[in-house]
Amino acid sequence: METKFIDLRSDTVTKPTKRMREAMMSADVGDDVYGEDPTVNKLEKVSANLLGKESAIFVCSGTMGNQIAVKCHTDIGDEVILEASSHIYNFEMGMMSAFSGTLPRVIEGKNGFFDEEQLVKAIRPDIYYLSKTKLLCLENSHNSAGGRVLSVEKSASLCKVAKDNGLKCHLDGARIFNSAIAQKTTAKEIAKPYDSVMFCISKGLSAPIGSLLVGSKEFIAKARRVRKMLGGGMRQAGVIAICGLIAFEEILPTLEDDHKKAKLLALRASKNKNFKLNLESVETNIFMIKVRNGNSANYYVNRLKEIGILVSLNSSDTMRVVTHKDISFEDAEKACKIFETIN
């Protein structure tokens, strides 16, 4: 008999809902490369409106969306400023260099973010024999920092510094709706100072595939050409785009429950003498557990798997836990008891 795991590795493991699966069978479709898929067109229009931008493009993944943005905003030899633990820098296979010919200029942040003074220092002086600093990329919420959020005020301040120095601003907003809920604001408000924003529908929103890249009409027209270069031109993509439209209606209003489950799990895990957690840092659906005894984090990842709980290994002494809609409060309570007592 197959073991049923409580899967806390990532919100990418979410399954499409029954309503999504049924809608996929009857979705109105056309050839999206010709701009003729009505469902894709609707998803793009709704997404642009949701984030307060002129236009949007449906892409296969968050990585594709981010890399299209880097390509559109830069030229070969330019520098891109990123936080040291950001997704674009660490988990996108060096594509910003391989595809766009750009150099990462990395800033060591705190909890995933750096300040205005650090940003100013990282911008190259305008001297012809230096690489030109062209783009600022931020991440909100920040995955590797444990789902931490960047405030609307701080976003605006950092983007102002960047734009005053001639930089474009892109947001890796894979989980922008989680950040908005945590701050009791809207994704549109978070997106306001950025020239482009990418967000995923395949994580907490539980669609099976896809992300959206939003920006000005001119930017998205350029992005459409770059998407084609990457092999991202899809045909009857309405069968997957329909899931994004349903996610906005069905899943988005319940996303706060994932945060409640994360806070509950973190609180109970903090009672285990073998673990160290900063409960104030649990802002969204992601948190980190540090191991403080003689065992490694990998030891606990394997021990938890034996008991029926899956978590991610983040580093030699840290595990990552992510809640999502496929983890019920009952599942969370079962996991809580294990987190409290495991040795």
Angle, helices 238-250/38-50, rounded to nearest 10 degrees: 40
In angstroms, what is the C-alpha Rg of the chain?
20
Beta partners for residue 238, in sequence order: none
3-class secondary structure, 201: coil
Using alpha carbons, select from 241, 240, 232 the residue that is nearest to residue 68: 232
- Contact of 20 with 43, CB cutoff 8 Å: no
pLDDT tens digit at each of 343 positions of the chain: 456 899 999 999 999 999 999 999 999 999 999 999 999 999 999 999 999 999 999 999 999 999 999 999 999 999 999 999 999 999 999 999 999 999 999 999 999 999 999 999 999 999 999 999 999 999 999 999 999 999 999 999 999 999 999 999 999 999 999 999 999 999 999 999 999 999 999 999 999 999 999 999 999 999 999 999 999 999 999 999 999 999 999 999 999 999 999 999 999 999 999 999 999 999 999 999 999 988 899 999 999 999 999 999 999 999 999 999 999 999 999 999 999 999 9
Q: Which pLDDT score is estimated for 1?
A: 45
- Contact of 323 with 265, CB cutoff 8 Å: yes
Q: Which pLDDT score is estimated for 3?
A: 67
3-class secondary structure, 81: strand
Q: Cα–Cα distance between 64 and 231 in angstroms, integer?
A: 10
For the chain, the domains span 6-13+255-341, 18-250
From residue 103, give the alpha-carbon distance in Å to each of 247, 250, 274, 296.
36, 40, 41, 34
- Contact of 1 with 206, CB cutoff 8 Å: no
Token pair for 343: 């040795």
Q: Cα–Cα distance between 100 and 152 in angstroms, integer?
A: 29
Q: Cα–Cα distance between 224 and 141 in angstroms, integer?
A: 26
Q: Which residue has 């030229």 as its token pair?
A: 75
Give the CATH H-level superfamily of domain 6-13+255-341: Aspartate Aminotransferase, domain 1 (3.90.1150.10)
Q: Which pLDDT score is estimated for 294?
A: 82
**What CATH fold (topology level) applies to the domain 18-250?**
Aspartate Aminotransferase; domain 2 (3.40.640)
Using alpha carbons, select from 159, 153, 332, 201 the residue that is nearest to residue 257: 332
CB atoms within 10 A of CB 45: 12
Q: Which residue has 């030109």 as its token pair?
A: 132
Query: Which residues have C-beta within 8 Å of that of residue 308, sequence separation ≥ 6?
Result: 3, 4, 5, 6
Query: Left if phi > 0, otherwise alpha if psi is -120 to 50, otherwise beta: which for 115?
Result: beta
3-class secondary structure, 200: strand
3-class secondary structure, 31: coil
Instruction: Give the chain's largest Cα–Cα span.
Output: 66
- Contact of 33 with 194, CB cutoff 8 Å: no
- Contact of 216 with 54, CB cutoff 8 Å: yes
342: DSSP letter: -
Kind plus residue range of the DSSP H or E element containing 79: strand 79-83
CB atoms within 10 A of CB 35: 11
